[in-house]
């Protein structure tokens, strides 16, 4: 027998260690999404959706809330990002099947008085120009690619562990680049300075997607 079409929509099996660590979460939420932590745990358990990241914003509606979360009671907005996206590996986006799988799993587990919205991320484009001094004997092309990879890894939307990367040296990036956090030129220059083969940073320019220079974006 042969399979003429590749299978899609599957997820990797859970390791015994991960299952043991998840037991307290299951005992706590008991298949009912009440707190933000409950929503995160239940969404990550959705069959057919290989979830890489969930951010739950309580009392916030993306179309009605002008400010930060807290001004829309009985509304929960969940930002969901898939673990893998072959078409957009650096900026993964959920497709319709991914969203539908989460909806089917979450619908019977939420409170009937709570409106739940699932949203895909909205990525903000930036441009970065950096001048570097290279350690003698190092390949210019190799170091330049390390710098590019280091910056992409630092700004990535998914947790480092899911991307096969070591934990970030910068606090607060355990879950990927945080919501509502600005990108700063000084912070990026520090990341570049730590790259293997970089002897120094001659300068770093940061700008928005339109090309306008900014100190933070």
pTM of the predicted model, to two decimals?
A: 0.80
Give the residue, 54 or 211, on which the prediction is more confident: 54
Q: Are 174 and 154 in contact (CB under 8 A)?
A: no
Band of pLDDT at residue 217, cut at 50, 70 and 90 = low
- The tens digit of pLDDT for each residue in 111-141 reads 888 899 999 999 998 999 999 999 999 999 9
Query: In which order are the strands placed within the sheet that holds 198-208?
Result: 126-134, 198-208, 213-214
C-alpha 43/C-alpha 36 separation (Å) is 11
* pLDDT recorded at residue 190: 94
| Residue 153: both structure tokens together | 């890894």
Each residue of 154-165: pLDDT tens digit?
999 999 999 989
Distances in Å between the alpha carbon of 122 and those of 116, 119, 129, 161, 179? 18, 9, 23, 22, 10
Residue-wise pLDDT tens digits, 181-205: 999 999 999 999 999 999 999 999 9
How do residues 14-73 score in pLDDT, each as one tens digit? 566 665 565 565 555 556 777 888 899 999 989 999 999 999 998 888 887 565 666 788
């Amino acid at each position: 027998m042969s399979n003429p079409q590749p299978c899609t929509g599957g997820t990797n099996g859970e390791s015994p260690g991960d299952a043991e660590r998840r037991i307290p979460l299951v005992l706590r939420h008991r298949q009912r999404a009440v707190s933000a932590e409950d929503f995160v745990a239940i969404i990550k358990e959705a069959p057919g959706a290989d979830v890489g990241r969930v951010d739950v914003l309580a009392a916030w509606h993306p179309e009605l809330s002008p400010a930060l979360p807290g001004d829309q009671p009985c509304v929960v907005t969940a930002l969901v990002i898939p673990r893998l996206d072959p078409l957009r590996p650096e900026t993964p986006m959920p497709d319709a099947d991914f969203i539908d799988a989460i909806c089917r799993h979450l619908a019977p587990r939420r409170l009937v008085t709570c409106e739940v919205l699932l949203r895909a991320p909205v990525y903000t484009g930036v441009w970065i120009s950096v001048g570097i001094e290279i350690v003698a004997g190092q390949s210019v092309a190799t170091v330049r690619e390390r710098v590019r990879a280091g910056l992409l890894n630092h700004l990535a939307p998914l947790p480092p562990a899911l991307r096969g990367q070591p934990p970030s040296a910068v606090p607060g990036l355990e879950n990927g680049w945080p919501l509502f956090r600005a990108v700063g030129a000084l912070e990026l220059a520090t990341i570049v300075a730590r790259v293997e083969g970089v002897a120094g940073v001659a300068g770093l320019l940061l700008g928005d997607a339109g090309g306008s220079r900014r100190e933070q974006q």
